[in-house]
Amino acid sequence: MKTLVLPSPPLISDNYYEVKLPPIDISNNHINENNIKKLFILSKNKIKKTLEEHIQELPDELTRYIFDYVKIFLWHEEFIMDLKSATSRRLDIYQILPWIPRILSNKNFTHYCIINDKFFKKVWETEKKNNKKQFKLMKRGNSFAQSLLMYHYH
């Protein structure tokens, strides 16, 4: 798996805007890694434009890549808020249950959660990779959610 390593969020230095993102899988993407890194360094001195204007001038494929990453990052932040809620701390799955199909149906979102949450990785390996439900009498999504809460709060 080839990974592009660019940390987050935007940092501003004297002469450049530097946008650094966390590792993202680009193994199935034909975008040249060096070109992507160059595009994330935008000179303030030559052209006075906002970062959004620079991004909109990029090729459509690269623009989708950037906005897809931002969407996944924001989804993850919302998911973590629900995971840390009082309802979730009481081991009640219903606040995080709507997130499970969204996460598991989007491989980039799944990958991002695996990288950023060691408990999610353990549950994913057991429930999805090894195809073993931890809670035999529950539906698969409910078992996944309950396992995640048990790892986090039990």
pLDDT in tens, 87-123: 999 999 999 999 999 999 998 899 999 999 999 999 9
Q: How many other C-beta atoms are found inside a 10 Å radius of the C-beta of residue 132?
A: 11
| CA–CA distance, 44 with 100 (Å, rounded to integer) | 42
Mean pLDDT value of segment 132-149: 92
pLDDT tier for residue 8 given thresholds of 50, 70 and 90: very low
Query: For the chain, which residues make up each domain, given as ranges?
Result: 1-58, 60-154
Greater model confidence, 6 or 130: 130
CA–CA distance from 97 to each of 60, 72, 112, 142 (Å)?
33, 17, 18, 7
CA distance readout (Å), 73 to 22, 23, 41, 63, 68? 10, 12, 21, 15, 9
More confident call, 41 vs 139:
139
Q: What is the pLDDT of residue 43?
A: 43
Identify which has the larger pLDDT, 2 or 141. 141
Q: Residues 13-31: what's their mean pLDDT?
A: 48
Instruction: Check: CB of residue 51 under 8 Å from CB of residue 10.
Output: yes
| pLDDT tens per residue across span 34-77 | 555 555 554 444 445 566 676 777 788 887 877 788 888 888 99
The pLDDT assigned to 49 comes to 58
- Predicted confidence at residue 130, as pLDDT, reads 86
DSSP 8-state code for residue 27: T
